[in-house]
Amino acid sequence: MLAQEAARTYKHDFIGTEHILLGLLGEPRGDIRAITPPSGTRSATRRRIPPLRRAP
């Protein structure tokens, strides 16, 4: 669902890999560590990505 919300936020009519990554980053229980390198990559990536806004 978070990937779908990311696509809607950016007014895209498809769900791409970037939306899936944003969805994983936004999932509090998601295990993003399984697909990202170690050493603070998640927090560094989060700082560069604007927060998601819920679609109306």
Residue 1 has pLDDT above 70, yes or no: yes
- Domain residue ranges of the chain, discontinuous segments joined by +: 2-48
User: Which pLDDT value is given to residue 13?
Assistant: 92
Lowest mean pLDDT, pick from 3-7, 12-16, 26-30, 45-49: 45-49
**Residues in CB range of 45: below 8 A, 6 or more apart:** 25, 36
Helix (H, G, I), strand (E, B) or coil at 19: helix
Task: Give the model confidence (pLDDT) of 8-42 as tens digits.
Answer: 988 999 999 888 888 888 887 767 666 666 655 56
